Structure 1
């Protein structure tokens, strides 16, 4: 018979994916109206701190008999910030009024404009980059704008190591500060100890140790999560000190306040396990 710990942990894993899908569906419904000309496959991306992220924006091009799409103007702005993030017009970048925050960190994909790709590459993401961006497109086929909400976090897959019957995991980059919890292959919650070490930039290194004996050929699950990112790692012990691991990331990119209010009653039991 399954223990309460098994039920709680198993239900938590299922709930994470169900709620993530539900949130994505709600966002798709909310943002679908009036956006026939412009569209985005991801309206709420999570940028990994200090890495590059693409803000998706595409439109329906209109080509002439020679297959040319005509002049396209693309402007990216950030709500609440003066100047532009990036502007492309007259077949060339126009960065005269670019906000200095984005100097040498942004670009489009000019060769893809003819096919309707107006996405923005934002390089070396910073914490202050978080916010709402506007993609504004003017083309022979139409005009329009669409909002993209960029969230910023730091996240990395943990590496596992086994020494004797001790199993540890280390993840180098997490922000905001996460929680961590372990389970065995049946979903039974396991006792563990987790330490957090933050550097001068406020990035946390996560060190988590399983306090119960780990056995060969068994699969263990480690969940590291904050309000933006959930990493679910599965490691099967092979007898080697370096343990192969598979990690899947899920992103909670609805409003964190909305997400907390929706999930708090359901995940209360699991939250108690993480504290």
Structure 2
């Protein structure tokens, strides 16, 4: 049976090797991105169901006005028969467009001169989730970039105050969220939350907090694995002043898998020794 010191030593060796490999990989990806002519400002966007989203795709080369008609932009989706959107010869070409995207996509010709081939996707549906590829071809250069679109439903809560009870109502959330209340000092408070799911699978959130003190500020946090809303609600005698901001998950599946692999190897090494 190995001593505790040996376990720590071998674990540290494994960690150093793995993190060195990770650094080399990240540097390689960074240099690869810099040399690529087509990039995206957000390769892991999250779209709000029922709303529009702009999928970013940019050619890092300006295109002369006289050569704009030579630019071809193709948007594809993995495992989809047909195209999401195709632009060539100065106009959209819908011949091979998949019916799922009919009337819902647009590329902006006036932006192509600066290399902007971003796609406007209207009225996002859950079936739109997946990996997209934007390919740009021009006489000045070209390339492609992959974008993984995720879908969710989220709305800021509306607040009501009556008889010492503060109520937060949010009409649309998906996936299923959790709700947490806290006071100005950050202490977790005991709220009561009701989640009702409609036929489309979207949750309506109603959460109550009591007792509540007038003039105090409370934080209502609604979150799932994709979206977090943080709302500050200040209670007065007559109304509630609320303000909300959203944050979005951009966790790398690559880093997550490396972390899990590292943890598994450490545990396995400890077991062997």
1:41 aligns with 2:38: no
Counterpart-to-counterpart distance in 2, 1:132 and 1:149: 4
1:252 aligns with 2:249: yes
Counterpart-to-counterpart distance in 2, 1:170 and 1:198: 14
Gaps of at least 5 residues in structure 1 are 1-25, 264-275
Give the alignment's Cα RMSD to 1 decimal: 2.5
TM-score (norm 2): 0.79
Gaps of at least 5 residues in structure 2 are 1-24, 261-273
Once the two structures are TM-superposed, the CA of residue 257 in structure 1 deviates from its matched residue by: 9.9
Q: Secondary structure at the match of 1:114?
A: helix
1:237 aligns with 2:235: yes
1:88, 1:94 within 8 Å by CA — same for their partners in 2? yes
Partner of 1:146 in structure 2?
Answer: 145
Once the two structures are TM-superposed, the CA of residue 139 in structure 1 deviates from its matched residue by: 1.5
Once the two structures are TM-superposed, the CA of residue 255 in structure 1 deviates from its matched residue by: 5.4
2:84, 2:105 within 8 Å by CA — same for their partners in 1? yes
Counterpart-to-counterpart distance in 2, 1:255 and 1:129: 20
Partner of 1:19 in structure 2?
Answer: none
1:62, 1:140 within 8 Å by CA — same for their partners in 2? no
Once the two structures are TM-superposed, the CA of residue 69 in structure 1 deviates from its matched residue by: 4.6
User: Which is further off, 125-134 or 252-261?
Assistant: 252-261
> Moved runs in structure 1, 4+ residues, more than 3 A?
26-32, 61-64, 67-70, 255-263
Partner of 1:109 in structure 2?
Answer: 108
Partner of 1:85 in structure 2?
Answer: 84
Counterpart-to-counterpart distance in 1, 2:215 and 2:118: 45
TM-score (norm 1): 0.79
1:190 aligns with 2:189: yes
Bigger Cα Rg = 2
Counterpart-to-counterpart distance in 2, 1:159 and 1:29: 46
User: Which is further off, 243-252 or 126-135?
Assistant: 243-252
In 2 relative to 1, CA 262–244 (structure 1 residues): closer, same or farther, beyond 3 Å? Answer: farther
1:158 aligns with 2:157: yes
In 2 relative to 1, CA 52–63 (structure 1 residues): closer, same or farther, beyond 3 Å? Answer: closer
Give the aligned length.
234
